[in-house]
Amino acid sequence: MPLSLATWNINSIRMRQNLVLDFLSQEKPDVLALQEIKCTNDQFPKEVFNKAGYTYQAINGQKAYHGVALLSKIPLEKVERRQFFNIDHARHICANVDYGRGAINIHNFYIPAGGDEPDPIINPKFAHKLGFYDEMLNWFKESQFKNKQIIAGDFNIAPHENDVWNHKQLLKVVSHTQQEIDLLNNLLEQGNWTDLVRQHIPTTQKLYSWWSYRAKDWNASDKGRRLDHIWSTPDMAELSSNARVLRQVRGWSEKPSDHAPIIVDFD
């Protein structure tokens, strides 16, 4: 059977659970990776999503900040949570899913944003971000990451010049500095990953998944960045048949998430 995987930084699951329900009803992904759920495990609205058909849930929550979760129609096995950079944040969860081709491992990440100043000496948040990526790079060298792996989530880096609204203007802004671009590209290449969104949507096309709340009319100003990603090992990339960013979801309500969901389909 095919597999549909979505990722979405929801920016508070309790505030926006109805948006998620609408999304699940319309798009019907098999698995949804959520970031910034901003609640503890016991506060997560499990029963709401049970009733919607997403009876398999894996949660790594934290009071008021961060937090990630997987919602699935397919059983989630071997759930694991990993801590990065010796900081006790809920920023990762993974689980095995078997959709008829044997177990694949889906990792859901909420990588640190990095604050405002792109200098790790004066900005500990940026140092945290760099350290988080360094640990990911070392971890991905392990043999388990050679095949049947998908990583998804809010990576908080927009790597290509057409992943941001103004390449030159943002080169000194956290999320699109050259240091971060090089870091993400190195992770992509050293790990032999495939950026599934750009596999289907060429870099000649401007593409964003995040628009700031600061804009009075986010759609008209269109000052976006592609911060959200779905990557896979080459074997899964060969099975990937489609990818799309659901830009319209950014405008579904008066208080939406500032991120739009991304969906990738696998044969």
In tens, the pLDDT along 28-78 reads: 999 999 999 999 999 999 999 999 999 999 999 999 999 999 999 999 999
Residue 80 contacts residue 91 (beta carbons within 8 Å): no
**CATH second-level architecture of 3-266?**
4-Layer Sandwich (3.60)
The pTM of this model reads 0.97
- Per residue in 188-227, pLDDT (tens digit) is 999 899 999 999 999 999 999 999 999 889 999 999 999 9
As given in the structure block, the two tokens for residue 97 are 């899913």
Please, are residues 154 and 259 in contact by the beta-carbon 8 Å criterion? yes
Residue ranges per structural domain of the chain: 3-266
β-bridge mates for residue 104, sequence order: 97
